[in-house]
Amino acid sequence: MGAGSSIAQNGSIGGWDAGVFIGRDVMIAPNVVIVAFDHGIASLDIPMVQQANVEAAVHIEDDVWIGANVTIGKGVRVGKGSIIGANSYVNRDIPPYSIVGGVPAKVIKSRIGDE
């Protein structure tokens, strides 16, 4: 976790072997969940609880604001200067300087050119 970054109460970060990497000056609001893994579901013949986890690192670049109750899934890169609206589910990469929201999260607008 980079300098100047903060995590509010009730946050949960699970990196397993893949890892969660948080840049500088990142603001993480309450009740945020960041996970770098998911349960395996490939085989119908093996109970899901017995299948190997699927892992992929999560990267949160510098100067990101993550709103309350956000979930960020495995393999996601959140671009520099982005804002993730409260109650969003992020399951794909977010371009730098984007404002995103929703389930699943989608780009609402870019911060580039905002004054």
Q: Domain 6-77+86-107 has what CATH class? A: mainly beta
pLDDT at 23: 98
pLDDT per position as a tens digit, 5-18:
999 999 999 988 89
d(CA 65, CA 47) in angstroms, rounded, equals: 38
Q: 15: buried, middle or exposed (CB in 10 Å: 19+, 13-18, 0-12)?
A: middle
Phi, then psi, of 53 in degrees rounded to 5: -65, 150
Q: Which residue is catalytic, options 12, 39, 46, 111?
A: 39
- What is the residue extent of each domain of the chain? 6-77+86-107
pLDDT per position as a tens digit, 16-61:
889 999 999 999 999 999 999 999 999 999 999 999 999 999 999 9
What residue type is assigned to position 78 of the chain?
V
pLDDT at 15: 83
Strands 83-84 and 65-66: parallel
pLDDT at 114: 67
First-to-final CA distance of the chain:
29
Mean pLDDT, residues 51-77 taken together: 97
Predicted TM-score (pTM) of the model is 0.92
pLDDT at 16: 82
- Residue 109: C-alpha distances to residues 44, 65, 73, 82, 98 (Å): 40, 15, 21, 10, 6
Active site residue 39: yes
pLDDT at 115: 59
Judged against a pLDDT cut of 80, whether residue 108 lies above it is answered with yes
- Residue 45: C-alpha distances to residues 37, 49, 80 (Å): 21, 12, 42
pLDDT at 107: 98
